[in-house]
Amino acid sequence: MNNIEGNDFLLRVDNVTVKYGNIPALRGVSLYIDRGEMISVIGANGAGKTTLLKTISGLLKPVQGNIRFGSLNIENLRPDRVVKKGIVMVPEGRKIFPDLTVKENLELGAYTIKDRTIKKELFELVLSTFPRLKERLKQHGGTLSGGEQQMLAMGRALMGNPKLLLLDEPSMGLSPIFTREIFSLIELVRKEKNISIIIVEQNAHMALEHSQRTYILENGEIIMEGFSSDLKHNQRVIEAYLGV
């Protein structure tokens, strides 16, 4: 699965190294994602998962390697340019605007979209995907439950009309019931809208269950990769990440 030369993937990360000062956070990381695919990245705290997403989204710049999105190299693009190309990130902790209404939060997600017709279609898409938000459009974001805030963060990202969605710890702080609901909605978005998704998640059970392929990060390096259906039966993965 490491040989990705000559293939036309939606996104390809090739031999990327990222440092905080002199300390390497990612070391020679390579991965790819197809159109309409969901891949997961799992690993312990500090493994480099969030750093990987921030690098793809332009918030961090690699000191080595390149990132290709379609036919375009994006490793040196500003974050706003990355968004305009179709990569949108839902950050860890949701980062919604608590003093704005649900409707205002969603509208901010469409700041790169100039066509009013497209904005309206995206707004209707979000409300049909997350009907709970439709009931709370005038409610301030900070008054929503954790699960509802995650829906709002995902809805705001969808308002940017993404081709690739980056989800950082979507289950953080959620009850098991809400976690299952969020993952079902993520799967719905991927299947019905053909949006590719990279999901960083500490809940390895859910990540392996819902993704097609998985990469395992350890100390900034990918130590294992494969089909999720295979890795969830791998004894090393079971002992290290599935708590068995």
Q: How confident is the model at residue 181 (pLDDT cuts 50, 70, 90)?
A: confident
Q: Is the pLDDT of residue 5 over 60?
A: no
Mean pLDDT of the chain: 90
- The whole-number pLDDT of residue 65 equals 97
Dump pLDDT digits (tens) for 18-43. Answer: 999 999 999 999 999 999 999 999 99
**pTM score of the predicted model:** 0.88
Q: How far apart are CA 152 and CA 101, in angstroms?
A: 10
Q: What average pLDDT does this structure show over 219-223?
A: 95
- Radius of gyration, CA atoms only, the chain: 18
Query: In one letter, which amino acid is 9?
Result: F
Q: How far apart are CA 36 and CA 94, in angstroms?
A: 23
Dump pLDDT digits (tens) for 120-131. Answer: 989 988 898 888
- The whole-number pLDDT of residue 113 equals 85
Burial profile 94-119: b = 16 or more Cβ within 10 angstroms, e = fewer? bebeeeebbbebbeebbeebeeeeeb
Q: Is the pLDDT of residue 177 over 80?
A: yes
Q: How confident is the model at residue 8 (pLDDT cuts 50, 70, 90)?
A: low
Dump pLDDT digits (tens) for 194-203. Answer: 899 999 988 8
Percent of the chain with pLDDT over 70: 95
Answer with the residue of higher pLDDT: 45 or 67: 67
Tokens of 138: 């005038």
- The whole-number pLDDT of residue 1 equals 45
Tokens of 144: 């929503």
Q: Cβ(168)–Cβ(89) under 8 Å?
A: yes
Dump pLDDT digits (tens) for 222-239. Answer: 999 999 999 999 998 988
Tokens of 6: 């000559």
Dump pLDDT digits (tens) for 74-115. Answer: 999 999 999 999 999 988 877 888 999 999 999 999 988 888
Superfamily of domain 1-86+165-171+196-244: P-loop containing nucleotide triphosphate hydrolases (3.40.50.300)
Q: How confident is the model at residue 7 (pLDDT cuts 50, 70, 90)?
A: low
Q: Where are the alpha helices (DSSP H) in the chain?
A: 49-56, 79-85, 102-109, 116-129, 131-134, 146-158, 176-193, 204-210, 228-231, 235-241
Domain with CATH 3.40.50.300 in the chain: 1-86+165-171+196-244
Sheet containing 23-33: which strands, arranged edge to edge? Answer: 23-33, 11-20, 64-69, 72-73
Q: What average pLDDT does this structure show over 207-222?
A: 95
Q: How confident is the model at residue 2 (pLDDT cuts 50, 70, 90)?
A: very low
Q: Cβ(24)–Cβ(217) under 8 Å?
A: no
List residues bridging with 18 in a β-sheet. 26
